A and B are shown apart, each in its own frame.
Chain A
Amino acid sequence: MNTEIIALFKCLADKSRLQIIKSLAIEDMYVERLSERLALSPPTASFHLKKLEAAGIVTARKEQYYTMYSLNRDALSFIVLDVLLAEAGDDIENDRDAAYRQSVLSNFIEYGKLKTIPAQRKKRAIVFEEIAKSFEHGKEYKEREVNIIIADFHDDFCTIRREMIELKLLVREDGVYRKGQL
């Protein structure tokens, strides 16, 4: 099943957030009003609203001093439709693989920076594949350009560049680098 749909339902599977949705179904509200009505602290209400906003369930707009939140009814209808149309259990192995990759990436990459180079080869490959996404297919890169792109992720660009070549994520010919076809 689509990972985004699962994430969305995880977002919905929370009593406070469901209460917020119910309240917004009646009328648009700002954070303080919602927090008062639902007996949540304003930072907690704000946290839930931001999560719902990120999932596309609510929208925010500025009104004088307040940020007003509304329910995105269209999105909610589409979500149900998406789930009904999704082919359930179509590729469990792919889902597991995607979940594993995601967990490795979130463990090692924070806000686009590689925290440390993983010790395990399998994890290193996943992380380097992610870095390889910053390279365009068919484009030629000088070594300096390759280093700059990799350095955006981690200072040890030499090690990473060498391993990316070993993993065929990058190909070097006559001093010119290209993204590998893997």
Chain B
Amino acid sequence: MNEFLRYLLEKQEHCIEESKKMTEEGREDEAIFEKVRANIYGIFTTFKTPDVAAKMIDVIPKAWHESLAKAIKNNDHEKEAEERIKIAVMEDIKAEFAEAKGDM
């Protein structure tokens, strides 16, 4: 599980760095997307036990899927992009978590 936490922290750090870089380059929207990614990785660093993390992996994205459907329906491209990013990060976390669980 320590490996999983390390992975999350590294990813979070990487996204924060990318976000700073993009802001400096004048790519503000992409910088915000990186911050969104960093936040999602950050959320999972706060769960104390693997059981809580496992539960949250399924619970948290439900609202994002609903929000994505709404955004697509309403042609809200910004929100759509943001929700897609959140869902993609969650898929990444899910895969890594499954791997970490196998190693436990």
Interface size counted on chain B using CB atoms at 8 A:
15
Give CA–CA (A74, B76) in the complex, Å.
Answer: 26
| B76 and A47 contacting across the interface, CB-CB below 8 Å | no
Residues of A contacting B28 in the complex (Cβ-Cβ under 8 angstroms):
13-14
How many residue pairs, one in A and one in B, have C-beta atoms under 8 Å apart?
32
| A44 and B70 contacting across the interface, CB-CB below 8 Å | no
B49 contacts chain A at the CB level, 8 A cutoff: no
**Chain B, interface SS category:** helix
Q: B21-34, CB under 8 A of A: which get 1 and which 0?
A: 00001111110010
User: Are A47 and B81 CB-contacts (below 8 A) given A111-B70, A111-B74, A111-B76?
Assistant: yes
Out of B74, B77, B84, name the residue touching A54 (CB < 8 Å).
B77
| B29 and A47 contacting across the interface, CB-CB below 8 Å | yes
Q: A36-54, CB under 8 A of B: which get 1 and which 0?
A: 0000000110011011001
Q: A128-166, CB under 8 A of B: which get 1 and which 0?
A: 000000000000000000000000000000000000000
A16 contacts chain B at the CB level, 8 A cutoff: yes
Q: B43-81, CB under 8 A of A: which get 1 and which 0?
A: 000000000000000000000000000100110111001
User: Are A51 and B77 CB-contacts (below 8 A) given A14-B28, A14-B29, A15-B26?
Assistant: yes
| A50 and B30 contacting across the interface, CB-CB below 8 Å | no
Give CA–CA (A1, B24) in the complex, Å.
Answer: 27
Most-contacted residue by chain A among B28, B76, B84 (CB, 10 A) = B28
Give CA–CA (A110, B78) in the complex, Å.
Answer: 13
User: Are A14 and B27 CB-contacts (below 8 A) given A43-B81, A43-B84?
Assistant: yes
Cβ < 8 Å to B, chain A residues 91-144? 110-111
Cβ < 8 Å to A, chain B residues 67-104? 70, 73-74, 76-78, 81, 84
Give CA–CA (A43, B33) in the complex, Å.
Answer: 12
| B76 and A48 contacting across the interface, CB-CB below 8 Å | no
Cβ < 8 Å to B, chain A residues 6-35? 13-16
Task: In the A-B complex, list the 7 residue pairs whose CB atoms are closest, starting with the nearest.
Answer: A15-B26, A50-B77, A111-B74, A47-B81, A15-B27, A16-B27, A15-B25
Report A's interface with B, CB cutoff 8 A.
Answer: 13-16, 43-44, 47-48, 50-51, 54, 110-111
